[in-house]
Amino acid sequence: MTVDSFCVMNSRATPVALWRTGLLLSFLSLSACLEQDCVLGIMGRPVSVPCFYPEILTYGNFSIEWRRNDELVLRTEWEEDVNMGVWSMNSAKISTDAALTGNLSLELPTVDPTDDKMYYRLFLISVENQSAPLCTVCLRIAASFSSPLLQRQEAAPGDETAFLCHSSGGFPEPAVHWLINDTEEPPEGSVRTLAASLPDSHLYNVTSHLTLNVSKDSRVSCIIENQSMNQTLTSTSYGVQSNTVVGRASQAMWIFSTGLCVVVGIMVMVGVAYQIHLDRISKRRKDEYHDQRSNRGYRRRHLYDKEAEAMKPQPKETDV
Ligand SMILES: *[C@@H]1O[C@H](CO)[C@@H](O)[C@H](O)[C@H]1NC(C)=O
Ligand SMILES: *[C@@H]1O[C@H](CO)[C@@H](O)[C@H](O)[C@H]1NC(C)=O
Ligand SMILES: *[C@@H]1O[C@H](CO)[C@@H](O)[C@H](O)[C@H]1NC(C)=O
Ligand SMILES: *[C@@H]1O[C@H](CO)[C@@H](O)[C@H](O)[C@H]1NC(C)=O
Ligand SMILES: *[C@@H]1O[C@H](CO)[C@@H](O)[C@H](O)[C@H]1NC(C)=O
Ligand SMILES: *[C@@H]1O[C@H](CO)[C@@H](O)[C@H](O)[C@H]1NC(C)=O
């Protein structure tokens, strides 16, 4: 919770006469306050409008009034530090021992958008005269938006794709952004945003249209930003990306298996060729060995035959 201390100080320092007559000055000071941080009230929750005024402890009999802009919200009086009863609107409260603590904060059980940018002021009604406000506090109201609903209307190839983003029941009017593939902003003129204030609750429904040429697998995000609440809601359309991922994955598998087949095929062919080579080498060696052996045998036999022939007696001659 933040307190607009500048506004409190400023209005307390403003002289009574100026406050009564110097509307321009007070208007200027209010304008300055609008730029400042105010007390943030969340719709439907209680909020405390802070005001501390320890000097009140020195007062015996006094009355105070909390006003919302010009409307009386709460009035109460103390006599000799005893609270003499409270009149209030919408169950607004003030601590009963305020006269002993100086804590004159106003407790609102619930707030709604009609309280937004309202100024709550505390006046001390003394016996002599009504004074300037002791405290001036501005109130800002915020309400949370629903999670955005994002629709994608696929178009025929070449046509623009339409996106529709809807969020409801928030306050104040939010900022709506679009992002394509998480980084790119859509081109100017492609976005049309409409915020409708609901007549009963004063809350907003916001609808934003985005129309652009975008590939089927691009991610498109709609972002609803409620700055008052520091709330950012994002909804993303992934298009047909998930299918494409599967497609890509199967394609990768196909490439991998084909590659694997080719590699295995080459390895098998190399292996077979090598085996054939080895077989040929071993066959040649075997042949050579065989040849050598048979050559030697032939030679030996030849020699033997010759020797035998030489040693053989010549029967012809002897016969003759
Ligand atoms: C406060 O009011 C009571 C009753 O009206 C009166 O008797 C008393 O004197 C007052 N006290 C002061 C300090 O004015
Ligand atoms: C002042 O009173 C309000 C309720 O009346 C309480 O919420 C707040 O905490 C109090 N402030 C301090 C500083 O005691
Ligand atoms: C009451 O008003 C008069 C003149 O308007 C002023 O002089 C006086 O200081 C005021 N008293 C208080 C308590 O504000
Ligand atoms: C979108 O694409 C269509 C067809 O390719 C083209 O005629 C059209 O001008 C494009 N629109 C934008 C905004 O680029
Ligand atoms: C606001 O949005 C809600 C939820 O989408 C819907 O039920 C309601 O009719 C809308 N109101 C208006 C006025 O558009
Ligand atoms: C918004 O909220 C985030 C986390 O909840 C926090 O870190 C950041 O400081 C807040 N910003 C403002 C401006 O409050």
Quote the ligand 5 centre to 75 CA distance (angstroms): 39
| pLDDT tens-place string over residues 92-119 | 999 988 888 999 999 999 999 999 999 9
Mean pLDDT of all residues in the chain? 78
Distance from the CA of 105 to the center of ligand 1, in angstroms? 25
| Cβ 207 under 6 angstroms from ligand 5 | no
So what's the pLDDT on residue 21?
A: 41
How high is the pLDDT of residue 120? 95
Q: How far apart (Å, rounded) are the C-alpha atoms in residues 113 and 100? A: 34
Report residue 224's pLDDT band, with 50, 70 and 90 as the boundaries: very high
Taking the CA of residue 160 as reference, the ligand 4 atom at the shortest distance is 1
Number of residues written out for the chain: 320
Q: Which protein residue's CA is at the shortest distance from atom 13 of ligand 2?
A: 103
Distance between CA atoms of 195 and 169, rounded to whole angstroms? 11
Cα 126 to ligand 3 centre (Å)? 10
Residue 250 clears pLDDT 80, i.e. is over it? no
Torsion angle defined by CA atoms of residues 27, 28, 34 and 35, in that order, rounded to the nearest 10 degrees: 170
What pLDDT score was predicted for residue 8?
Answer: 38
Q: What are phi and psi of 234, to 5 degrees?
A: -125, 140
Other CB atoms within a 10 A radius of the CB of residue 96 amount to 12
Mutate to test the pocket of ligand 2, among 48, 83, 120 (most ligand atoms within 8 A of CB): 48
pLDDT at residue 292 in the model: 61
Element housing 85 (H / E)? strand 82-88
Report how far residue 152's alpha carbon sits from residue 210's, in angstroms, rounded to the nearest whole number: 10
**Amino acid in the structure at residue 64:** I
pLDDT tens column, 120-152: 999 988 756 667 889 999 999 999 999 999 999
Question: pTM of this prediction?
Answer: 0.64
Query: Hey, which of 159, 160, 211 would you mutate to test ligand 4's pocket, going by the most ligand atoms within 8 Å of its Cβ?
Result: 160
pLDDT for 114 equals: 92
